[in-house]
Structure 1
Amino acid sequence: MKKMANIKSAIKRIDVTRKQTARNKSVKSEIKTYVKKFEQAIENKDSEKANELFKTVDKKVKKQQLKT
């Protein structure tokens, strides 16, 4: 049985945390996907695609760091 908060601010905080957790999970998954594509491009020696993917990964990681 889960306990529910009684104070209004605590209830709001639970809701905010749920939304942030969902967003973080989504972004984390997206970053992992791009990293895998980047590593695959390196293995295939496709420097143009690897360079493009590196920029994308870097941008997404930095953006996520600002949000946390």
Structure 2
Amino acid sequence: MIGRIIGAMVGREIDRRDGAGGIKGAAMGWIAAGALRRMGPLGLVLGGGYVAKKIYDRAKGRGRI
């Protein structure tokens, strides 16, 4: 369950970077979730770290940190 949530967040970040929206982010999130799940706990840590860094960078850009 946590792997799917992190995969969805990774897909959302990829989609935001692309800017076009649509299926690409969802597909990349699905692929990322599968890859993270196969990597086990290390994959969850890496995916969670990626999402946390993106959230931190966005908050820093808005002047909240």
Q: Which structure has the larger Rg over C-alpha atoms?
A: 1
Structure with larger RCO (C-alpha < 8 A, sep 6+)? 2
Instruction: Tell me the TM-score normalised to structure 1 length.
Output: 0.37
Instruction: Tell me the TM-score normalised to structure 2 length.
Output: 0.38
